[in-house]
A = this chain, B = another copy of it.
Amino acid sequence: MKPSGVITLSTDFGTDGTFSACMKGVILEINPNANVVDSTHAIKPYDINAAAYSIATSYCYFPAGTIHVIVVDPGVGGARDAVAVEAGDYLFVAPNNGVLSEVISENTPYDAVRLDVPSFFRDPVSNTFHGRDVFAPVAAHLSNGIGLTELGSRILRLNRIDIAVPTVEENCIRGEVKYVDAFGNLITNITNEFLNELCRSTSLIEIRIKDHVIYQFSDYYEQGKPDALIALINSNGLLEIAFNRSSAAQVLGIAERCPIVVTLTTKRNEQR
């Protein structure tokens, strides 16, 4: 794959300190022409599920040949491997701890190597900051055109984490809140495809979350009346629960993992 020169950084390092700055410096020393893009440094510390979602919702908008570096790495310095992975049009550099589980499904073809060639690392390699000492330099070398297989030995299977998927019953889908965004919108793991299978556009439905019920889909936020919760399909094709101009998470006291159920119904609700 021809690298685009773009390298994105997704970490749980925060922006108070200089962790991400060190990574950028290391990359620019190896490839002065790299275009280093801060994706986010605010993934919840140690939260591999959040990292998996973060990269899954962003990687494909970058040019083909972009190198995505993901460092949410509670096992740094221990037994876990570091890997570089080519999948579709992109390259990924990350710990082998499941952070790519949403990008690469069970059936996605990919090439992966364990990063075991120290000449592509900083010297010495610390036990606590592989972002700077392993992932950044490897990404920079990839962006310089070093081939994936030069970086280490081939591995056949990446480690995976469990990603909660909705369960489908005869007349309902049971999912959960996957992510709360900056506006307090509740993004669920129920995809458009699940919904299309359950209901046609003429179907009557009930969406239940905590003790709230929504009886229809809206198209966009501003359709929401004051204090009326709305449901819509968001820009990633996911069912999202929101208020118009306020935080559903805050007002309802709902956080990630909160269950949500979409049920087919035959009664037209009066309050609809």
Which residues in A have some Cβ–Cβ distance to B below 8 Å?
4-6, 8, 10, 12-19, 21-22, 24-26, 28-29, 32, 35-42, 45-46, 54, 57-58, 60-63, 66, 74-78, 126-129, 132-133, 179, 181-183, 219-223, 232, 234-235, 240, 244-245, 247
CA A22 to CA B77, docked complex, whole Å? 31
Residues of B near A13 (CB, < 8 A) are: 182
Partner of A29, one of B19, B63, B234: B63
Partner of A16, one of B61, B182, B223, B247: B182
CB–CB B12/A57 < 8 A: no
Residues of B near A37 (CB, < 8 A) are: 21, 24-25, 28, 36
* 13 pairs, CB–CB < 8 Å, chain A vs chain B: A5-B32, A8-B25, A10-B18, A14-B182, A15-B42, A16-B42, A16-B181, A18-B40, A25-B37, A28-B63, A32-B63, A46-B183, A127-B232
CB–CB B22/A234 < 8 A: no
CB–CB A245/B46 < 8 A: yes
Partner of A128, one of B35, B63, B232: B232
Please judge, given known A-B contacts A235-B129, A240-B128, whether A222 and B74 are in contact too, CB under 8 Å: yes
CA A4 to CA B30, docked complex, whole Å? 12
CB–CB B234/A25 < 8 A: no
CA A37 to CA B223, docked complex, whole Å? 33
CA A6 to CA B127, docked complex, whole Å? 28
Residues of B near A222 (CB, < 8 A) are: 74-78
Please judge, given known A-B contacts A35-B28, A133-B235, whether A223 and B18 are in contact too, CB under 8 Å: no
**In whole Å, how far is A242's beta carbon from the nearest beta carbon of chain B?**
9
CA A22 to CA B78, docked complex, whole Å? 33
Q: CB-nearest residue of chain B relative to A74?
A: B245
Residues of B near A232 (CB, < 8 A) are: 127-128
